[in-house]
Structure 1
Amino acid sequence: NSTCSCLLVQNTEVSCVFMESCILPCSFQSGADPVIIWTQETAGNLLVHVFYSNKDQLGFQNQNFRNRTSLFKDQISRGNASLQLTGVEVQDQGRYRLISYPHAASTSSFLAAPVSKVNMEQVGNRIICSSEGIYPEPDLTWSTRPPSNLNLQNQTSIQQTEQQLYNISSSLILSDSETDLIYICTISTHSNSRRVTLFKTSNVSDSETTISCPDSITSITGFSLTWRFNHSQIILNQSRADISYTVSEEWRQQVKGVSESGSLMLQDLSSHHEGIYSCEVSDAEETLITNTFLRREKSQGEAALS
């Protein structure tokens, strides 16, 4: 039997994303008949993948890794012993060892299910901030702009799913004394963080009007845009990759257009369209939300008929 010496540096750390593919890297000096054995040390030296006699020996593989591992066979002769693991789960994180007689090397796999979206909604005098499917356990913090000395009264709950991911939700009571505050909720792990900002509610009134997004946004290029009515009904969507936007069927008559800064231009409004219009602008790290209350004022003709 020939031997191969792995050139992987000891204690290499690899970050993996939940349910995606992950590569544990290793290069070595291969002989004519290399032996490659990957084990998961932290789970009791489970056999992850075995390769010798120029083929996979999957009869030895632990069932936790069945149909989820592969080597780059066309590159083994060039010294690549890296392992690809698909459908990464929470139980996959830990220390892995490559054994290629008589040498060995190890690597650590750390799982991350990043904070992908933070939701915020206002219900009466409370705002609720939440996110789902996160790993490891996230932190949630509230802040205001401008900074306030108020004691932000909030209740936060964290639940773990069957897949060992975390859902987090926090409810904050709005201040009666400081009505001009902008509220910011940040959810973070060691791998990333996202925040959502709720701007104060303003009022507009007309049968044809333009409702603005956050003042800090001058162009929505590179952002995704969503307009909602009364926090739930979607008026239109525009993804970060698309220039055009998609208007829902119920709002095609009312939506006149969208400006470069994301402002919503409306027309043919009636009393049925009174309510809260929410602009959500998001990039990779942040979501900005502006709520505007639209009150439809009756024209003189409408007033005479009523």
Structure 2
Amino acid sequence: ELTTLFFFLLGQSQLIGTSQSIVAVVGNDVILPCHLEPAGDATGLTVEWTRPDLDPKLVHLRRDGVEHVSEEHPLYERRTSLSIDKLKCGDISLTLSKVKLSDAGTYKCLVPPDRPESAVELTVGSVSSPEIDISKVSNGVLLECKSKGWYPEPEVVWLDGEGNLLSAGPTETVRGPDDLYTVSSRVTVEKRHSNIFTCRVQQKDINQTRETHIQLPGRVFVVITLLVTDC
């Protein structure tokens, strides 16, 4: 009777995901949340994770306590997993390893046959740290910042040592055949108190920021001044 009661209660449970988009960075692992509410042991249940825009749409399938890899989409081979310990507590969240740009999309978790599915939106981004090159010009020092391998398209800003925005030229953007963006920006600077400058590349949609700092020696500006005077 207790067993019957347990399954009856479990049958009334709902699948709970998240209304917020999950953000992942290329190469990292991410967890797509989904759990039974109220909680119950899900180790003996069929658990399906699908992505409706794919064919086949199955991303992960667990049935009769066994992972059915052969029925899953080959794009996700050996990259998805469920935690047995969490399943015991009704947590059927999916771990997706080594995220790719193509993983972005809507995922659905199901516990057939009688529970409504729950959807999770995955947004994927790609980031890289910027590099700064310096060259001398007649009115100061020209700094060029370049960063490649971004997605979505980021913005570039320059800051001085006190965190103030510097007036820079327009950002140059190139989109490669892999859909990743390369951005570059130039700014001419004069001698300042700290001579510290920062190139910051940021993508607000995926809440990612990378920045590189450079401290210029004062003599760089002195040499430039002498050269200009001699001319």
- Fold conserved between structures, TM > 0.5: yes
- Give the Å deviation of 1:155: 5.4
User: What TM-score do the two structures reach when normalised by structure 1?
Assistant: 0.55
Q: 1:107 to 1:45 in 2, by over 3 A?
A: farther
Task: State the distance in 1 between where 2:222 and 2:95 align.
Answer: 49
Q: Which amino acid aligns with 1:106?
A: A
Tell me if 1:119 matches 2:127: no
Provide the aligned C-alpha RMSD in A: 3.2
Is 1:201–1:292's contact at 8 Å kept on the other side of the alignment?
A: no
Is 2:58–2:71's contact at 8 Å kept on the other side of the alignment?
A: yes
Task: State the distance in 2 between where 1:292 and 1:73 align.
Answer: 66
Match of residue 186, structure 1, among 200, 212, 229: 200
Q: Which amino acid aligns with 2:46?
A: V
Is 1:119–1:196's contact at 8 Å kept on the other side of the alignment?
A: yes
- Give the Å deviation of 1:77: 3.0
Name the counterpart of 2:173: 157
Task: State the distance in 2 between where 1:112 and 1:152 align.
Answer: 26
- Give the Å deviation of 1:195: 3.6
Tell me if 1:37 matches 2:48: yes
Q: 1:10 to 1:186 in 2, by over 3 A?
A: closer
Partner SS for 2:121: strand
Partner SS for 1:41: coil
- Give the Å deviation of 1:64: 0.9
- Give the Å deviation of 1:106: 1.1
Unaligned runs of 5+ in 1: 204-275, 277-290, 294-306
Structure showing greater relative contact order (alpha-carbon pairs closer than 8 Å, 6 or more residues apart):
2
Is 2:148–2:183's contact at 8 Å kept on the other side of the alignment?
A: yes
Q: 1:6 to 1:26 in 2, by over 3 A?
A: farther
Q: Deviations over 1:160-187 (max 9, x none)?
A: 353x333222234x36xxx336654321
- Give the Å deviation of 1:44: 6.5
- Give the Å deviation of 1:61: 0.4
Match of residue 132, structure 1, among 129, 148, 157: 148
Task: State the distance in 2 between where 1:75 and 1:185 align.
Answer: 43
Name the counterpart of 1:26: 34
* Structure holding more helix per residue: 2
Percent identity over the alignment is 20
Q: Deviations over 1:25-59 (max 9, x none)?
A: 22223467311110113546721011111111122
Is 2:18–2:34's contact at 8 Å kept on the other side of the alignment?
A: no
> Within 5 A, what are the aligned runs for 1:104-253?
104-115=117-128, 117-125=129-137, 126-142=142-158, 152-154=168-170, 156-160=172-176, 162=178, 164-172=179-187, 174=188, 179-180=190-191, 184-190=198-204, 191-199=207-215, 201-203=217-219
Unaligned runs of 5+ in 2: 1-6, 224-231
Name the counterpart of 1:69: 80
Is 2:26–2:98's contact at 8 Å kept on the other side of the alignment?
A: yes
Partner SS for 1:34: coil
For these two proteins, the number of residue pairs brought into alignment is 199
Name the counterpart of 1:90: 101
Task: State the distance in 1 between where 2:203 and 2:217 align.
Answer: 30
Q: 1:33 to 1:200 in 2, by over 3 A?
A: closer
> Within 5 A, what are the aligned runs for 1:256-267?
none
Name the counterpart of 1:259: none
- Give the Å deviation of 1:119: 1.3
- Give the Å deviation of 1:19: 0.9
- Give the Å deviation of 1:192: 2.4
